[in-house]
């Protein structure tokens, strides 16, 4: 299946999609507005711009000719599956304000454990990440500029230099969400490969493992399942 | 301090604000659009419309003359403090698609425990809630209509008819978020008063209490602190 975009670019695989997206979106500005009750408002704050971009990008991917299948359940990881000649890929879309550290949730820790144990191939999901900059308040046309477009795997946006051996948000002694490192400034702080990432998740899982938390596998079961997948498919 | 809105309505207290808001916003339609990379898009999906309205409403409150102080930390409960002649009120703003059950998070359970133990007066926070309806896909001007405006206290949007004696989201055996009941259809299923709500939170907290979860008070300490506040201020 060939994908023909509106201006005749050809996108046959993930790398094509990344190159095309970067070319078309980087350094482009946009505006998000609401008109309601005679009170227009332009959004520049982080939550709204990020959420809107995360919804806009898949719509744009389809507009340029990429076949997408949304995941049945919203909230579930990943956002959708992108289909190309050479295969299908799980894709997540994220956006964050580049003036701050990336602080989006990559995945709820235990959801990630359960999901990847059932579907180890989701370890290889692709993250399309937009780094946007809100315009300054004194700009006439307020809005945002997309400064960077990234395509990354999970082990390229997480890293070991953290208290629990992985960039993990912990609340009240319980693991919450895998969070990104500052991969845009220091990609060298990320994991070197998928196996290093798997071992770090395994160690964190062991630290927090308790009978009170219901998951579908033990830390060792998770590690052996994921290592097997990685060694057969990613190395 | 008198609050003078642009069309000379006078808003001196919370009830005035509620009446004015309901009059001005109920059954009004709105549109949220993004213009980016030559690809305009109108949002009708739930996450974006809800988030946008939650950011729009406080901005509109200020526009009509209400003095607001935002809470220092974003993410923190409540969203802001509204100041009137007769006093100041903690205010939360929520929005949801009225075609579905209300599914917004009222508060993370343990954050709510800690915050109300330190500041029991936050039990009396006011929830301004917009129930919107996405327009049908075949409408020429897609967007949303605000169908209802509510002003509620927390015990009026939560209720006892649930597994843990309170409408509480539980994930993997751990309490996550206090969630609303279908208060728009069945207000009679809510708690009858703040004391009934406090007792239900106390019971749920006792069920889940364990040494592994770090909170700043025991269930009994929380109950006695909150009951004291409620009996002195809310009964």
**Cα gap B39→A60, rounded to integer Å:** 7
Least confident of A170-179, B110-119, B132-141: B132-141
pLDDT at A9: 57
| Per-residue pLDDT reduced to its tens digit, A164-194 | 999 999 988 889 999 999 999 999 999 999 9
**Closest partner CB to B55 (pick from A28, A48, A60):** A48
Q: Note whether B88 and B81 are within 8 A (CB).
A: yes
| pLDDT at residue B224 is higher than 90 | yes
- With contacts defined as CB-CB under 8 Å, which chain A residues touch B172? 110, 213-215
CB contact under 8 Å between B33 and A32, yes or no, is yes
Give the residue with greater pLDDT, B86 vs A183: A183
ipTM over 0.85: no
CB contact under 8 Å between B41 and A56, yes or no, is yes
Percent of chain B at pLDDT > 90 equals: 69
**Average of pLDDT values for B150-175?**
93
Residue B103 contacts A where some CB pair is shorter than 8 Å:
no
The answer for B10, left when phi > 0, alpha when psi is -120 to 50, beta otherwise, is beta
Q: Note whether B6 and B63 are within 8 A (CB).
A: yes
* Cβ-Cβ contacts under 8 Å for A151 (sequence gap 6 or more): A14, A17, A18, A21, A126, A127, A128, A129
DSSP lists the bridge partners of residue A50 as none
**Cα gap A149→A128, rounded to integer Å:** 7
pLDDT at A77: 72
pLDDT at A4: 47
| pLDDT at residue A3 is higher than 50 | no
Backbone angles phi, psi at A29, to 5 degrees: -105, 160
What does pTM read for this prediction?
A: 0.86
| pLDDT at residue B195 is higher than 70 | yes
| pLDDT at residue B141 is higher than 80 | no
pLDDT at A103: 85
How far is A148 from chain B, CA to nearest CA, in Å? 14
- Using DSSP bridges, classify how beta strands A67-70 and A126-134 pair: parallel, antiparallel or unpaired: unpaired
Window A:139-198, CB contacts with B under 8 Å: 146, 171-174
Q: C-alpha angle with apex B81: B89 to B110, nearest 5 degrees? A: 90
pLDDT at A61: 94
| pLDDT at residue B191 is higher than 70 | yes
How far is A158 from chain B, CA to nearest CA, in Å? 23
How far CA B175 is from CA of A78, A175, A181, B204, B205, in Å, comes to 24, 13, 28, 9, 9
pLDDT range class, residue A138, cuts 50, 70, 90:
low
How many Cβ pairs closer than 8 A exist between chain A and B? 105
| pLDDT at residue A137 is higher than 70 | no
Give the residue with greater pLDDT, A213 vs B96: B96
Strand stretches in B71-134, DSSP E: 80-84, 87-97, 107-108, 126-134
pLDDT range class, residue B78, cuts 50, 70, 90:
confident
| Per-residue pLDDT reduced to its tens digit, B28-54 | 999 999 999 888 888 877 678 998 999
pLDDT range class, residue B137, cuts 50, 70, 90:
low
pLDDT at B47: 78
Residue A30 contacts B where some CB pair is shorter than 8 Å:
yes
Backbone angles phi, psi at B198, to 5 degrees: -60, -45
Q: Which among A37-51, B48-62, B162-176, B215-229 has the top mean pLDDT?
A: B215-229
Please return the burial class of B222, using the count of CB atoms within 10 Å of its CB with bins 0-12, 13-18 and 19+: buried
Please return the burial class of A54, using the count of CB atoms within 10 Å of its CB with bins 0-12, 13-18 and 19+: buried
Searching chain B, which residue's CA lies closest to the CA of residue A144?
B36
């Amino acid at each position: 299946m060939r994908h023909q975009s509106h201006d005749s670019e050809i996108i046959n695989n993930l790398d094509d999609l990344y190159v095309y997206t970067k070319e078309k979106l980087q350094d482009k500005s946009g505006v998000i507005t609401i008109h309601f009750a005679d009170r227009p408002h332009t959004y520049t704050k982080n939550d709204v711009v990020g959420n809107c971009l995360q919804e806009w990008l898949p719509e744009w991917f389809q507009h340029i000719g990429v076949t997408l299948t949304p995941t049945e359940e919203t909230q579930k990881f990943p956002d959708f599956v992108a289909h190309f000649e050479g295969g299908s890929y799980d894709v997540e879309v994220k956006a964050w304000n580049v003036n701050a550290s990336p602080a989006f949730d990559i995945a709820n820790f235990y959801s990630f454990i359960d999901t990847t144990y059932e579907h180890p191939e989701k370890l290889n999901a692709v993250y399309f990440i937009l780094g946007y900059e809100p315009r300054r308040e004194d700009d006439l046309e307020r809005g945002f500029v997309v400064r960077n477009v990234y395509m990354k795997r999970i082990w390229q946006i997480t890293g070991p230099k953290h208290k629990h051996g992985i960039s993990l948000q912990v609340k009240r002694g319980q693991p919450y969400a895998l969070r990104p490192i500052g991969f845009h400034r220091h990609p060298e702080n990320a994991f070197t490969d998928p196996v290093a990432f798997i071992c770090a998740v395994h160690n964190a899982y062991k630290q927090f493992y308790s009978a009170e938390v219901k998951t579908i596998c033990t830390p060792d079961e998770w590690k052996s399942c994921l290592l097997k997948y990685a060694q057969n498919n990613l190395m």
